[in-house]
Amino acid sequence: MKKRVVIGVVVVALMLIGAGTAYYLGYFNQEEIKPIQSASHFEETDTSDDESTEIAIEPPPAKPLPDHYFVASAFEEVHTQPHSDSTSDGVAYYGEELKVLERAGDWIRIAPIYQLEEGSEEISQWVSTQHLVTQAVPLNGEGWFNVLTQYIEDSDDFMLFHEVFLEASTVLVKQKQCRLSDFEEMKGWVKSINHPDSVYFTYCGGIETEDKVYLNAVTGKLF
C-alpha cells in the first residue's frame, strides 16, 4: 500500500514537471516566432504624374503707343524727314499738342505728306519724340513764365509792365488765339501810337488788321 502511494506521488510530480516544461517552451517559442509582413506593406504607391504639364502662358498685350504728345521744352525743331539730318521746317512750341499721323522709329509725322513739285521727294513735318511728353504741360507757374519770357522780353517797356504782358500773353495762348511763334515774330508787345500811352499791341495768326490784338497795360484789358 505504501509503495502505491509513493508511485502515485512520483507520477503527479512528473506530470507537474512536464506541464511546467511545456509552458516554458511554449512561451519562448511565441517570442521567437514573429509574423512576417509582406514587403508590399512598406511600398508606397506613387500616384503623382511624373510628366510635367506644360501650361501655355500668353504674354501680356502690348501697351498701345500714344496718339498724341506735348512739347515740354521751349521748342522742338520740325524736320521734313524722320531724321535730324533732314531739312528743318520750323519748330513746335512749348505746350503745343502734336497728333501722331505716322511713326518711324522715335519720330512722328504731324502733317500731311506733300511734294514741292511733281516728281520731287515726298516730304512732311516730323518731330522726334525724345523730349516730348504724353501729358499736357501747365501754362502757368514759374516754368511757363520762364519760357514765355523768352518770347516777349523784347516788348516795349517790358521792365515796367512785364507782369501784365505775361498774364495777357498767357490768356491769348490758352484761348489758342496766339501761338508763341506770334510773339516771337513780333518780339512781344509794341507800344501803340494811335492810343493812349498805356496801350500796346501784337499780332496773332497773321499780320492783317483783324489779327491785331490790343492790351491796356494799366487795366490789363485785351481788346
**How confident is the model at residue 5, as a pLDDT?**
42
The three cell numbers of residue 64 are 498701345
| Crossing angle (nearest 10°) for helices 141-152 and 158-174 | 110
Q: 181 is written with which cell numbers?
A: 511763334
The answer for residues whose C-beta is within 8 angstroms of residue 186's C-beta and 6 or more apart is: 202, 203
What would the grid cell of residue 67 be? 496718339
Give the dihedral of Cα atoms 85, 98, 125, 188; nearest 10 deg.
-90
Boundaries of every domain in the chain: 68-133, 160-222
- Roughly how many angstroms between the first and final C-alpha of the chain, as a whole number? 164
Look at the alpha carbons of 192, 195, 201, 203 in this order and tell me if their dihedral is positive or negative. negative
Burial class (CB in 10 A: 0-12, 13-18, 19+), 47: exposed
pLDDT of residue 32: 44
Q: How far is the C-alpha of 220 from the C-alpha of 223, rounded, in Å?
A: 10
Options 1.10.3470, 2.60.40, 2.115.10, 2.30.30; CATH for 68-133 is 2.30.30
Tell me the C-alpha distance between 156 and 95, whole Å.
Answer: 25
Mean pLDDT by 10 residues, the chain (223 residues): 45 47 43 45 48 73 91 96 96 96 97 92 96 95 96 97 98 96 96 92 96 97 96
pLDDT at 52 (0 to 100): 54
pLDDT of residue 51: 52
- pLDDT, residue 62, reads 82
pTM of this prediction exceeds 0.95: no
